[in-house]
Amino acid sequence: MTEELSGRRIVVPETRELGQLLRMLEERGADTVPCPMIAIRDTPDIGPVEAWLRRFAKGSCDDLVLMTGEGLRRLRGFARRIDLEPAFIDALRLARKITRGPKPVRALREIGLAADVPAGEPTTEGVIAALERHDLTGRRVGLQLYPGTANERLLQFLESAGAEADSVLPYVYASEADDSRVIAVIDEMAAGQIDAIAFTSAPQVRRFRDVARAFGREAELRQGLERIVVAAVGPIVAAELDAMGVQVNVTPRDNTFFMKPLVRELAAALAKGRKD
């Protein structure tokens, strides 16, 4: 352990691995400022998910595109509740599995399976690039979607490649943070009381934007993000920040979109006093 982040105040928006990220930062001496923001819940519209699972368990899909690890875990949960988990896993074993990024790969490993076609980049374009190397004519492709996008780009690609897509959305995001807590963090950033923020998902970015807009704090949010080090775990999060006009100062190098490299690069940037 080191103390290279001693005295540094770093905002950590809620993530599924919040405890792990807090621990890694605090082990380096940081004063962390947790900001719970996003809850993940099963989709309330369970009928389409259960119908999709029954089709999939019968071998309806030749391929399955897994966009998130959370999506696979939620599908397993739905399958378990309708006594279909063994059949779902058997069908998953037979299907060609295409993954976007490391998280769905880890979720597959949890059930003893591996990705067959991992995307080189954890983005929709990365998935498309990986699939372009394969003949999809006449293949039935399951597509696990995630909240916030219908992914028309990927659906259009599959159609143009001669495949038949069958999509499923197993979970939704629910904003749980008290708005006042988000506003308090925005005000602290604008006042120069924060050194950095570590974003690990696009919904976190959107939550800050939406709360700031609702309470007339957009100027304070822009000011705060301009004066601190902004870290993004990967290109999807970075793109969301870029769309807001926010400069990203830190991302993990060499396509290593994980917590540990993010913390390492953030520590290095703060040690150099970098705010490009």
Give the global pTM.
0.70
Going along the chain, which residue ranges are E strands?
Answer: 9-13, 31-35, 38-42, 63-66, 96-99, 117-118, 140-144, 164-168, 171-175, 196-199, 229-232
In a domain, 231, yes or no: yes
Q: Where is the domain boundary, 106, 139, 173?
A: 173
Q: What is the mean pLDDT of the chain?
A: 91
Cα-Cα-Cα-Cα dihedral sign, residues 101, 73, 21, 35: positive
In a domain, 276, yes or no: no
Cα distances from 51 to residues 6, 45, 56, 274, in angstroms, run 52, 11, 9, 51
- Residues 217, 152, single domain; the answer is no
The total of structural domains in the chain comes to: 2
pLDDT at residue number 173:
85
Integer Cα distance of 219 and 213 in angstroms: 9
Secondary-structure breakdown of the chain: helix, strand, coil percentages, each rounded to the nearest 5 = 45, 20, 35
Distance from CA of residue 181 to its chain's centroid?
22
Residue type, 114: A
Q: Are 262 and 198 in contact (CB under 8 A)?
A: yes
Q: Where is the domain boundary, 173, 206, 230?
A: 173
In a domain, 83, yes or no: yes
CATH of the domain at 106: 3.40.50.10090
Q: Where is the domain boundary, 173, 199, 232?
A: 173
Domain assignment of residue 82, given as a range: 41-173
- Residues 151, 190, single domain; the answer is no
Cα distances from 82 to residues 49, 79, 115, in angstroms, run 11, 5, 26
- Residues 191, 88, single domain; the answer is no
In a domain, 74, yes or no: yes
In a domain, 250, yes or no: yes
The pLDDT tens digits for 96-147 are 999 998 999 999 999 999 999 999 998 999 999 999 999 999 999 999 999 8
- Residues 154, 244, single domain; the answer is no
Residue 15: which pLDDT band, with cuts at 50, 70 and 90? low
In a domain, 1, yes or no: no
The pLDDT tens digits for 176-193 are 667 888 999 999 999 999
Residue 11: which pLDDT band, with cuts at 50, 70 and 90? very high
- Residues 125, 15, single domain; the answer is no
